[in-house]
Each structure stands twice: as C-alpha cells, then as structure tokens.
Structure 1
C-alpha cells in the first residue's frame, strides 16, 4: 500500500468543529474538577493561582488536563463511531 494513500485515509476523518471543541473543553473542565477533590497530596510543584485553583499546582493541572484529553478523545471517538457526531 502506498504511504501517501495511508496518510490520506488517516486524515479523512480529522475534521475539527465547534462540537468537538466543546466536548474537549467540557472533558477537561470535568477532569480538573474531579482532580481538585480527588488528589489528596496537592501543591507539590509551582502553584497555578487562576480561576479559583489556589493550592492546585502545575503538576496537578498537567495531570488532570492530560486525563481530560484522554476522556475527550474517547468521547469523540465513541460518538463518531456511533454516528452521533459528524
């Protein structure tokens, strides 16, 4: 199989829309909110004093947004697989 053809197939469904952005933002906010109360040992790294996250360090923010991206990607792929998201 030609490599260019494979890349074209991989990018055929890579359309970005406002729905996908909303799902990803919502997933990240959910993960940050969940991590805010679930992480027991906080404030190890530098603090991020924005949006009422006092005592929430950079490491916690990176960890929760990473989880938010995993959740968001799963939701987007699941909705695309079922045909609910174009």
Structure 2
C-alpha cells in the first residue's frame, strides 16, 4: 500500500527525459572525458591490461561508471532547465 507521504513526494518529482541521440551523445562524451582523466592516475596499469588502451580493466570500468554518473547529472540538469 502506498502511503500519502509517498504520493505527495511523487507529485514533486521532475519529468525524466526519454532516450534520444542527444542523450546518448552527452553520456558518451562524458564517458570519454572520464576515460581521459584516468590517464592522470598514479598507477594506471594495476590489474588486467586492456589491449589498445593505456589503462587497466579496473580503471576503464571505473572511468565508464564515473562518466555515466556525470552524464546522467548533465542530462537531468539540462532537462530540469528546459534545454533538453
């Protein structure tokens, strides 16, 4: 059963955007920026290596996770101000 407090909070939740190519481009760009930031870590080659990239698998997964979090923040922020 849904309580009245939860129903009251649901009314104030802003609209979430649907996926579009613009959303994909924003999240991809933020993931690439996060991956470029991993080149500055002190020990980028600790763990299994990725062929063709100068970072290890844990650094790559961490960079992609951070890039997605940043990208989601950008998309929600742009949606909230009405630009997306």
Of structures 1 and 2, the larger Rg is shown by 2
Q: Which runs of 5+ in 1 are unaligned?
A: none
**Residue of 23, 26, 29 corresponding to 1:23:** 26
Calculate the TM-score normalised by the size of structure 1: 0.76
- Structure 1 runs (4+) greater than 2 angstroms displaced: none
The answer (yes or no) to whether the contact 2:17–2:79 under 8 Å persists in 1 is no
Higher RCO structure (Cα 8 Å, ≥6 apart)? 2
Superposed counterparts of 1:3-82, under 5 Å: 13-36=16-39, 38-50=40-52, 53-54=53-54, 56-82=55-81
**Alignment RMSD, CA only?**
2.4
How far apart, CA to CA, are the structure 2 residues paired with 1:74 and 1:46? 30
Aligned length: 77
